[in-house]
Amino acid sequence: MTDFEPNILAFCCNWCSYAAADLAGIGRMKQPTNVKIVRVMCSGRVKPEFVIKALADGVDGVLILGCHIGDCHYVSGNHRTKKRFEIFSKLLGHMGIDPRRIRLDWASAAEAIEFAKIITDFTETIKELGPNNYAGKHERATA
Amino acid sequence: MTEEHTHEVVDGTPEMDEPRIGVYICDCGVNIAATVDTKAVTEHASKLPYVVIAKNYKYMCSDPGQNLIKDDIKEYNLNRVVVASCTPRMHEPTFRAAVVEAGLNPCLFEMANIREHCSWIHKEMDSATVKAIKIVELSVARAPLLEPLTAAEVGVTRVGLVVGGGIAGVRAARDIADRGFPVHLVEREPYLGGRIIWLSKLFPLRKCEEDCVGDCAPCFVTPELKEAVNNPNIHVHVNSEVSDLDGYVGNFNVKIKENPLYVDKDRCTLCGECTKVCPVSVKNDNDYGMSERKAIYRPSEAAVPVTYVLDDVNCSYFTGGQCEGHPLCVDACKFGAINIDAKERTVEAEVGAIVVATGSDNYDASQKSELLPQHPRVMTAPEFERISSHLGPTKGELLVNGTKPEKVAFISCVGSREGTGNTYCSRVCCMYTAKEAHTVRKKLPDAKITVYYTDVRTFGKGHDEFYVKVLNEDVQYRQRELGHRLEVVENGPNVVVRAEGHDDFEADLVVLATGMVPRSDAAEVMRLFNISRSADGFYLEAHPKLRPIDTFTDGVFLAGCCQFPKDITDTMFQASGAAARACGILSSPKLSLGEAVAFADETCTGCGQCVETCQYSAISLEEKDGKVVAVVNDILCKACGTCIAACPSGSMQQKHYTDEQVLAMISAMGGSSV
């Protein structure tokens, strides 16, 4: 499994985690190349459907990164995200998806080191889990 | 965006237009090109669907770089532009402006971040190039689905509102007024100045040797307050409260409830005849019960407007006492200044921007029973300020129960920095304790003075110098741990301070350095102005570092201790900042409110989930064609998109971040086109 290079998608909110990613860049904090970022205004915008779609399309892991609880630019958007993904991650097991493929985490605009660590750790986790085989299952189920 | 172009897009039904994308890959000198093979990325991008032209350039953000885009838009008839360069948080506005100049709607521009998120964080060119290609693919996948959008624009009412007439509110109102805008200044008390007019001197004293060198609070504050009252642009509403507020940035409607003072300040000559005949005497709250006042009284010699006022809660004309039907003060006033029949009235005003400067409360020391707060020899720092002020009940003589104290103890951090409760530092107590210790030393040269402190925080300009000076005035500072037991016990007429690790100290005056707490009605005011509070109960700023004056409600700004404890210097900084932020709105010809608003499509069932989710009350349920549906107010919507994820029927959508656009990017993630 050492050669496996996972394909990972990260949803970052515009105000905290995307800014943390920028700051990590400014600080030249080296990270694995596996993670690609899609910017949304708030982590609260991320529908569970987006995650399912990503997994069905063969993405190996999905990160949802928002502002810390209490610091949400939209006051409570991340509270909604948290509630939603706590329930959602319980369903993943029933769908044959290891819940570790999805991670919800927080990084403030100042937390570049923490951001880089999340990216690195999550990439390691997905490498250990191996390729996502939900894509094939999903195709069979919907065929 | 030009009128001409908007017209063209609407007529051209953009959905039907074949997307024609131009992709521009930036080298950013070596910043990107050293790690990413930009030529390979460009080559790959040129083969992606709908891409008409792909180019690579050294600096896309430079004038030649922008001209490249503008020229291509015309030459190749491009209707979408993707730039792969730095973070959109940096140059998105630059490139948006460039495409607008070439006649494209700014929302038809898309940016891919291959610098902060790629070249700067990777070393190997091969894998970084593969990633950069993927990032560009994501943006190119989204681009065809971009739609031309026009942001809602609103006009601005060029009038300010400042809530709270303490030193913060007065500063903010004067700054707004001085820039030429009318401003309503609303104060709950019958006078301006808030807490500051009840203080003695203000730290750091600039010249400790002298008795008074202009650091005396009333001496320098009263002229400031008079300036506000005399400014023709400031409408001062004392004894008043904001009773209702609605609207949005640039266009708020406010109701101000004005309670009568019963005395016409323009006729009142301060002769005091009314007070002499007033039969009612009550404890003076401003002196913490250490003095009495009449029901018609002058709040303070420092109070502005300069007038007597009548307190109708205690006045016997209103309570049915001696003056019922025949108020003695009215007869006594030779100038006809008293109008006992004055009624409360409500002023309605339209305002464009609001500064909330409602201040804080003093920590209630009665919660600290181990410090004997009710003992006659124990007082809080605000009480000490009264007995050390020349306008106070003792005319500035330090007297406790009529005698001069000889052994004075100060206890810091009372109600601050606790494990539970107020975990924060109130930021002023260390300095005012030093100042009060200095005051005791000046007034009572032979007194024994001991300060019990946990840490001494003297971070302001001139603060540490002042503290060191006080240390050298024979003031004993005794450090203790925050968690250590400290108590005050009775000892005959005096008290004894017992602190872990220190000898007992017998004192005939103990001063408790109490901190600041949020106003008791902070929750009510929060709801009125649709702002938030942080965990400590103070009003929450939009960002602790980048936007410490703004709230999350556009057009509402914070000044002074309602946001967090701060000293007068910092309060003035913030007040002037808040005024400047407010004037930014008041001076805008029009406000553009962003394009990415939410909307419900025709499948909405009116379940109301979104209404509940929206933090900004931007969504309401309304009847349309016989069915109840969700309607989004474009002006109130802040574009977070949380309602969309909450919508069970998928009918809630967001412009510029549509599900289709996000899903297209996700598809591009999965696709193996590399």
Residue B373, SS3 per DSSP: coil
Neighbours of A73 (CB within 10 A): 21
| Those residues with Cβ within 8 angstroms of residue B364's Cβ, 6 or more apart along the chain or in another chain | B415, B514, B517
Inter-chain CB proximity B641 and A40 less than 8 Å: yes
Neighbours of B93 (CB within 10 A): 11
> For A28, which of B121, B546, B639 is closest by C-beta distance?
B121
Considering only CA atoms, which of A59, A57, A64 is closest in space to residue A40? Answer: A64
Give the residue from chain B lying closest to A77, CA to CA: B642
A91: Cα separation from own chain's centroid: 17
B81: Cα separation from own chain's centroid: 39
Inter-chain CB proximity A45 and B640 less than 8 Å: yes
User: Which of A 69-98 lie inside 8 A of B, CB atoms?
Assistant: 70, 73-77, 80-81, 84
How high is the pLDDT of residue B12? 38
Q: Under a CB-based contact definition with an 8 Å cutoff, are residues B315 and B240 in contact?
A: no
Fold of A8-142: Rossmann fold (3.40.50)
Give the residue from chain B lying closest to A44, CA to CA: B642
Does A38 contact B at CB distance below 8 Å?
yes
Q: Which amino acid is at B111?
A: M
Angle between helix A77-94 and A48-56 (nearest 10): 40
Smallest Cα distance from A81 to chain B, Å: 8
Inter-chain CB proximity B666 and A135 less than 8 Å: no
Separation CA B168–CA B191 (nearest Å): 14
CA B364 → CA B379, B517, B519, distances in Å? Answer: 11, 9, 12
Smallest Cα distance from A97 to chain B, Å: 17
Angle between helix B568-586 and B167-178 (nearest 10): 40
Neighbours of B529 (CB within 10 A): 19
And the tokens for A137?
Answer: 């299952």
How high is the pLDDT of residue A141? 63
Separation CA B394–CA B402 (nearest Å): 9
Selected residue of B118, B121, B131, B660 to mutate for chain A interface (largest A Cβ count, 10 A): B121
- Given a cut of 70, whether residue A69 has pLDDT beyond it is yes
Residues of chain B with C-beta less than 8 angstroms from the C-beta of A33: 118, 122, 124, 127-128, 130-131
pLDDT tens digit sequence for B641-652: 999 999 999 999
What does residue B352 show for φ and ψ, rounded to 5 degrees?
Answer: -100, -30
How high is the pLDDT of residue B91? 92
Separation CA B413–CA B371 (nearest Å): 12
Inter-chain CB proximity B535 and A70 less than 8 Å: yes
How high is the pLDDT of residue B11? 37
Residues of chain A with C-beta less than 8 angstroms from the C-beta of B642: 42, 44-45, 74, 76-77, 80
Inter-chain CB proximity A53 and B666 less than 8 Å: yes
How high is the pLDDT of residue A15? 86
Considering only CA atoms, which of B206, B250, B477 is closest in space to residue B350? Answer: B250
Smallest Cα distance from A14 to chain B, Å: 9
Q: Which amino acid is at B222?
A: T
> For A80, which of B120, B124, B642 is closest by C-beta distance?
B642
pLDDT tens digit sequence for A73-83: 787 889 999 99
Separation CA B78–CA B654 (nearest Å): 25
**pTM beyond cutoff 0.80:** no
Separation CA B36–CA B382 (nearest Å): 64
Q: Is B125 exposed, middle or buried (0-12, 13-18, 19+ CB in 10 A)?
A: middle
Instruction: Report CA torsion sign: A75, B617, B639, B101.
Output: negative
Q: Under a CB-based contact definition with an 8 Å cutoff, are residues B475 and B433 in contact?
A: no
Give the residue from chain B lying closest to A85, CA to CA: B645
- Give average pLDDT by consecutive 10-residue segment, chain B, 674 residues: 32 61 97 97 97 97 97 97 95 95 97 98 97 98 96 93 98 98 98 94 73 71 93 98 92 97 96 97 95 96 94 96 93 96 97 98 95 96 95 93 96 89 93 96 96 95 94 96 92 96 96 97 88 84 85 92 97 98 96 89 94 91 93 90 93 95 94 46
Smallest Cα distance from B616 to chain A, Å: 9
Smallest Cα distance from B186 to chain A, Å: 28
Selected residue of B111, B669, B673, B674 to mutate for chain A interface (largest A Cβ count, 10 A): B669
Inter-chain CB proximity B642 and A58 less than 8 Å: no
Inter-chain CB proximity B654 and A45 less than 8 Å: yes
Separation CA A58–CA B672 (nearest Å): 9
Give the residue from chain A lying closest to B134, CA to CA: A36
Separation CA B310–CA B302 (nearest Å): 17
How high is the pLDDT of residue B200? 92
Residue A97, SS3 per DSSP: coil
Residues of chain B with C-beta less than 8 angstroms from the C-beta of A14: 89
Residues of chain A with C-beta less than 8 angstroms from the C-beta of B553: none
Q: Under a CB-based contact definition with an 8 Å cutoff, are residues B478 and B499 in contact?
A: yes
| Those residues with Cβ within 8 angstroms of residue B546's Cβ, 6 or more apart along the chain or in another chain | A109
Max distance between CA atoms of chain A, in angstroms, equals 47
Question: What is the β-pairing status of strands B251-258 and B345-351?
Answer: antiparallel
Neighbours of B282 (CB within 10 A): 15
Tokens 């406000």, located at residue: B591
Give the residue from chain A lying closest to B32, CA to CA: A25
> For B645, which of A31, A46, A135 is closest by C-beta distance?
A46
Inter-chain CB proximity A31 and B121 less than 8 Å: yes
And the tokens for B556?
Answer: 């509402």
| Those residues with Cβ within 8 angstroms of residue A104's Cβ, 6 or more apart along the chain or in another chain | A43, A64, A65, A66, A81, A82, A85, A89
Give the residue from chain B lying closest to A70, CA to CA: B534
ω into residue B106 within 30 of 0, thus cis? no
Give the residue from chain B lying closest to A67, CA to CA: B543
Does A113 contact B at CB distance below 8 Å?
no
Give the residue from chain B lying closest to A108, CA to CA: B543
ipTM value of the model? 0.96
Smallest Cα distance from B88 to chain A, Å: 10
Residue B511 pairs in a beta bridge with B379, B410
